[in-house]
Structure 1
Amino acid sequence: MLSTSLKSVLHHARYFPLWTALTVLRWRTFELRSRGLGTTLGTIVRWFPPARRRFDREVKRVFPDMKRGDRTRLGQNMGRHMGRTLFEIYHDAEFQTQHHKFSVSGPGLAALKEANAAGKGAIIVSGHFGQWEAVRAAVKMNGMESGAVYRPHKNRHYERRIFAGIEAGGKPILATGRVGTKALVRHVRGGGIISILLDEKYAEGVRIPFLGHDALTSLSAAQLALKYDLPMIPAYGIRIDDGNAFQVEFEAPIPHTDAITMTRAFNDSLSARILANPDQWYWMLRRWEGASSPA
């Protein structure tokens, strides 16, 4: 077991590169700072061997015939997008006010408004794709507010900044786990909206196909939707115009059937988005770990 002091030193050391990048860029415009962090992460994914190997392993699973040069470009572009996403989350209060960047469409928005007007809760489901905080920005632009479920970061410096950023996008912010689940139930039963990212590995989950391979997937969103008769609405913030703007699309609510069928419908929805824009999904999640082996 690491001592508390050693853990503290490691947390500082791991956070220092990001702190440096954010500090060096702090006097530039929002867009230039966003691009700067994007360029940094894109370079890391391309040239830092552990990151490149991890990325290649996951991409080869889905695109086994992709040439090495194409994988390299895909990884660098993914890194650029994720760097910009991270910057925007860290500065979410400012990001949420940039209404000129958001174009909102899709039948799910009307369903969300209808539920909200009736005092009924709703569940928005998305993934680590595009800029997922753009979805909550669009919700706020339409006179509503969505809380979010998040997984706390082990590094206290990352955790402090990420939590503050996510909280600026809408409340409540609920950590995964038993306490957070109880608060989540109270929130949606009371008519609240919650946004959940369903593309992380869930050890107690069910094997459901995702991008053609079984992945351990949580059924919690579908189970809540069924138990409390809530709309479960897939929504995505897709980067357009060289990453400077966002097309936020609210798909039609997933029909209520059973938890596995509904969750599979979401996995299919997100898979289609990723296949259309593979550089906008965060391939480093180890999504299939423990569920299946690479082809």
Structure 2
Amino acid sequence: MLGKAFKKLRRDLAFRHGRRLRQFNYWLVARAAMAIISVLRLLPVDSALNFADRVARRIGPWVGRHDVAIDNLRKAYPEKSEGEIQAIASDMWGNMARLAAEYIFLDALFDFDPASAKPGRVEVKGVDHFVQIAGEEKPHIIFTGHLGNFELLPVAAATFGMNITALFRPPNNPYLAEYILSTRRSTMGSLLPSSTGASFALAGILEKGGNIGVLVDQKFSGGLETTFFGRPCESNRILATLARHYDCDVYPARCVRLPGNRFRLDIEDRLTLPRTAGGSVDVQGTTQLLNDVVERWVREDPGQWMWFHKRWEISGRRRKRQQARQHGEAA
């Protein structure tokens, strides 16, 4: 009896004060994050990044999302031993911590100079593609995934004079979102928050001959039925739809984290997109092609991707349709 009353009281409090409690929690987390950032700023760049890596590898296994990451890794790599799976997860946490800490030092990290023969922290593969895209007066789409420090790609684009608008998803925490957005805008040029109406904004940019950058490796509820690592998932069709409508060139680009706090930015050759019998871009085939490209990248550097993301989670409505279809086939 008392247990039921306590649960009811907790639900009532959550209903009445849930928003305030959530905002307070956001504020508390942001204050803690900013305190850590203040400490890291006092350290040399390499010391700060290495420290963040070490701490994350210790804390990561205690975070709830660690179980999600391990489950995803086991299903993606059934041939790997448990030790190998745990090692990849540890690398992932180290990579995510470095990414967070690198926001503080973006200006210091990106030292690539196209006119200099002296190597720095950042090397660029596919310079000719950057130069070509920047010089062409027509729309382009550049896509990437959450690999390495993907935030360095728009910085590189700006270095080559490329006018590009990057679509991004702000954190749920409004206090952290404000900090991250201000940091990004100072180094990355135009940014477009991922929200209702973003697809129309992207279309408007391409309509004017601009370039857009899009991350394509997240779950999209109600998206196209595709596969990733051989498992069903839902993917956003927006990039393929825009490519079909504007018939624009699509380029894959990624960041690879190298030893010694160094990076390689790689913009690959223009994709040959699948076409329908009528000659237009095949939206389903193109969306799957994007998944295949990102899967290749992840297989090459599995510890640099965010395995804790619920990429393979299928919406309830679609799951019911799949079950009904399977039941009909079995009958």
Answering whether residue 81 of structure 2 is matched by residue 61 of structure 1, we say no
The answer as to whether partners of 1:222 and 1:232 remain within 8 angstroms in 2 is no
Aligned-partner residue type, residue 267 of structure 2: F
What is the match of residue 251 of structure 2?
233
Instruction: Describe the SS at the equivalent of 1:246.
Output: strand
Equivalent in the alignment of 2:181:
163
Q: Which of structure 1's runs of 4+ aligned residues deviate more than 4 A?
A: none
Amino acid of the structure 2 residue aligned with 1:274: V
TM-score for both structures, normalised by structure 1: 0.89
- Of 79, 85, 89, which aligns to 1:75? 89
How far apart, CA to CA, are the structure 2 residues paired with 1:192 and 1:93? Answer: 25
Distance 1:49 1:65 in 2: 25
Alignment match, 2:101: 87
* Partner residue of 2:264 out of 233, 247, 263: 247
| Aligned mate of 1:21, from 36, 40, 65 | 36
Identical positions, percent? 21
Counterpart residue number, 1:197: 215
Alignment of 1:255-266 (within 5 A): 255-256=272-273, 257=275, 258-266=282-290
- Residues 255 and 262 of structure 1 are in contact (CA less than 8 Å); yes or no, is this contact kept in structure 2? no
CA displacement at 1:197 relative to structure 2:
0.6
Compute the displacement of 1:77 (Å): 1.2
Partners of 1:279 and 1:165 in 2: CA distance? 26
Letter of the structure 1 residue corresponding to residue 310 of structure 2: R
Larger radius of gyration: 2
Tell me what 1:101 maps to: 121
Please point out which of 36, 45, 64 is paired with 1:30.
45
The residue aligned with 1:176 is 194
Matched residue, 2:291: 267
- Correspondence for 1:187: 205
For the 8 Å contact 1:122–1:194, the answer to whether it is kept is yes
CA contact (8 A) 1:254 1:262 kept: no
Superposed, which structure 2 residues align to 1:272-287 within 5 Å?
272-287=296-311
In the alignment, is the contact (CA less than 8 A) between 1:237 and 1:246 conserved in 2?
yes
With structure 2 as the length reference, what TM-score do the two structures score? 0.80
**Which deviations, in whole Å up to 9, do the C-alpha atoms of 1:100-119 show, x marking residues without a partner?**
2221123xx54453343231
Contact 1:221 1:232 in 2 (8 A): no
Task: Name the SS of the counterpart of 2:123 in structure 1.
Answer: strand
**Which segment is superposed worse, 121-130 or 180-189?**
180-189
2:6 is aligned to none
Q: Which runs of 5+ in 1 are unaligned?
A: none
Q: Given that residues 129 and 281 in structure 1 are in contact (C-alpha distance below 8 angstroms), is that contact kept between their aligned partners in structure 2?
A: yes
Q: Residue type matched to 1:245 in 2?
A: R
Aligned partners of 1:93 and 1:168 also within 8 Å? no
* Equivalence for 1:45: 60
Q: Separation in 1 of the partners of 2:252 and 2:288?
A: 12
Aligned: 1:9 with 2:33:
no
The amino acid of 1:69's aligned partner reads G
Q: 1-side partners of 2:300 and 2:293: how far apart?
A: 11
CA–CA separation in structure 1 for the residues paired with 2:86 and 2:193 = 34
CA shift in 2, pair 1:143/1:30, >3 Å: same
Deviation at 1:211, TM superposition (A): 1.6
Question: Distance between the aligned counterparts of 1:129 and 1:118, measured in 2?
Answer: 27
Corresponding pairs, count: 289
Check if 1:116 corresponds to 2:134. Answer: yes
- Check the 8 A contact 1:145/1:170 in 2, yes or no: no
Deviation of 1:85 (Å)? 1.2
Q: Which runs of 5+ in 2 are unaligned?
A: 1-14, 114-119, 276-281, 323-331
Tell me which residue corresponds to 2:3. Answer: none
